[in-house]
Amino acid sequence: MNLGELKEFIEAISNKDQAGNSFTPEQFNLILKQENLDLFNIECEKLKQLAQAKGQPFYKTYYNANNLNEFEVISTENIVGGKLLISTLNDYAYPITGIAMGYNGGDRKVDFDDDNEVSRRRTNLLTKPPYWYPMGVRKGGTLYFYPNDIALLEFTYLKFPAEPNYDYCIRNSNYQKVYMPVGSNITAVGPIYNLYSSVGVLLAGNVLHLTATVYPYTSTSIELEWAVNMHIKIAGLILSKMAVNLRDQELQQYSLIEEKKQQT
């Protein structure tokens, strides 16, 4: 579902269970951005705890079962002096795995761990030597690699989800707020709401955007990056902030009802 449908879905449930508890688009944006990030952190923490419980590296747990595929980034990075600045990466959040390319006679997998484990392996002769089994660790805004002569890294990591944004216009006839999907635009002050593409008119009649200063005005909406099956979890987090406490099963039932409505 897009953000317009998500907002309608949440309001349909909250109004039924707690009348009058709807929110403005501005309030929706604030809570949506927070819960989008919260869900990302929750899913990362679940994977880290599962990896710890199984006694296996994070990347194995990640590749076996997870809901974070949409945020995976694979890049090739130059490592200088054993350091890589996080600010040079695209919204870096958490390392998955790395390969030191052409290092020590071949390609070597890089293990990422906390500072204590990296220090232990660097100083304990009985553990896997970094020369053959390179390591990486984050310290502040920098990733440090051992040994520090790694030059080229194929790096797979998780980025933070893009910040969603719900943009809307107002129908002149009844002051109804109407969601503006990604790519939609208003051609001038007051006429129709449409797309640049062949889709054509989305909403007939005069509309107004409250903050537009130049026309045509194009929507600033940014949809959730999550797979569709995760949208229901976002809805659940938002509803919990509205003091509407529903079990996952109830949310799924509401979701199925909404899907059927849209299909008819």
pLDDT 10s digits, 75-87: 999 999 999 999 9
CA–CA distance, 8 with 15 (Å, rounded to integer): 10
Decide if pLDDT at 260 tops 60: no
pLDDT at 242: 75
**116 phi/psi in degrees, rounded to 5:** -65, -45
pLDDT band for position 19 (50/70/90)? very low
pLDDT tens sequence across 156-188: 999 999 999 999 998 877 788 889 999 888 876
pLDDT at 207: 83
- Tell me which amino acid residue 196 is: Y
Decide if pLDDT at 230 tops 60: yes
pTM for the structure as a whole? 0.82
Decide if pLDDT at 262 tops 70: no
CB 137 within 8 A of CB 143: yes
Question: Token digits for 153?
Answer: 């890294």
Residue count of the chain: 264
Question: Token digits for 41?
Answer: 């952190």
Decide if pLDDT at 221 tops 80: yes
Highest mean pLDDT (candidates 31-35, 196-200, 244-248)? 31-35
CB atoms within 10 A of CB 126: 6
Region 130-134: what's the mean pLDDT? 81
Task: Estimate to the nearest angstrom the gap between the alpha carbon of 35 and the chain centroid.
Answer: 10
Question: Token digits for 213?
Answer: 């200063």
CA–CA distance, 167 with 178 (Å, rounded to integer): 9
Between 55 and 166, name the one with better pLDDT: 166
CB 138 within 8 A of CB 76: no
Per residue, the 3-state secondary structure of the chain, as one string, reads CCHHHHHHHHHHHHHHHCCCCCCCHHHHHHHHHHHHHHHHHHHHHHHHHHHHHHCCCHHHHHHHCCCCHHHEEEEEEECECCEEEHHHCCCEEEEEEEEEEEECCEEEEEEECCHHHHHHHHHCCCCCCCCCCCEEEEECCEEEEECCCCCEEEEEEEECCCCCECCEEEECCCCCEEECCCCEEECCCCCCEEECCCCCEEECCCEECCCCCCCCEECCCECCCCCHHHHHHHHHHHHHHCCCCCCHHHHHHHHHHHHHHHHC
pLDDT tens sequence across 190-207: 555 665 444 566 666 678
pLDDT band for position 117 (50/70/90)? confident
Distances (CA, A) of 12 to 21, 166, 171: 10, 18, 21
CA–CA distance, 12 with 187 (Å, rounded to integer): 31
